[in-house]
Structure 1
Amino acid sequence: MGHCITDVNVLVAYDKNPVPVPTGWKVLDTDLNSGVSGDYLYLVHERCDQDHPITDIRVLVGDEKPPKGYEKIPVDLNKGAVDADSGKPHPLFMAVTRTAVAGHPPIEDLRIASWVEGDKKVDPPSGYSRINADLNAGVSKIDGAGKTTTTHIYLDRKPAAS
């Protein structure tokens, strides 16, 4: 099982410089607040030889409690970002489980897909499925022309071969 993802976390950076990544972890090189002027956030994951790989990832809105068997990652995925029109934040969190979930084999790899509202939607790569939640949901910014823009960010997962 050493090829499966066994842990995920979100690291907060203070600028656009590369975020220091713990030894043995891999950073997904896309700012989770890209295009919405929030804090610089990067998803990291670890693979190691253990029998408890992550099998599912969910996105929680606000104070939503994680489902039974899921562990909430306590970093707001929209940290520092607000909706440009209302000025209000829209907190989102990830929750993961290592419990067997029907239809969700262990996760072997994660990728981030992003596009700006109005551009062509980016589909998951071959062999990946999309976690059906926009990680920038509820937040936007005003561009230089005074127009509200939204950058969509989705997490794609690749299941381990059985």
Structure 2
Amino acid sequence: MDFGAWVSALTPDELAEPFTFVVDAGGVLRLAPRRSEHVVCAGGEEVLSAGEMSFREESGRWTVEEVSNQSTGYCPDVTSWPAVAEALERIGIARPSGFTHEVVFRRCRSCRELNIVREEDFVCVFCGDDLPLEWNIAELDR
């Protein structure tokens, strides 16, 4: 189905909150209601990116209003933006130049807990050890 036709058929309530999104391994954008899990949206498969996305109509054209990489199911790095941009371009949706809200995920190498880094404070909130500066979620999930 054409994206414009699909999104135009949604109710104002459905459009009022962001959607859960993933960009699957084939580069296809998949959307689900916000309360959906990213892993379910992706059918349990690996993804190129994941997060939340909202849309607005602007001059008769749909555009991404806000987009983040907020997904604790996949913990995508902020460097996953190009996959999102390409998926949106493929279906003709206008977009910002990057994530409008970036979430920095790191896993502690000492206690293995997942952390969301705030204000560039790369310290594990669970054990106090330093967190790596580089994205390391996949490295420690093996």
**Larger relative contact order (CA 8 Å, sep ≥ 6):** 1
User: What is the TM-score when the length of structure 2 is the normalising length?
Assistant: 0.29
Structure with the higher strand share, 1 or 2: 1
Structure number with the higher helix fraction is: 2
So what's the TM-score if we normalise by structure 1?
0.26
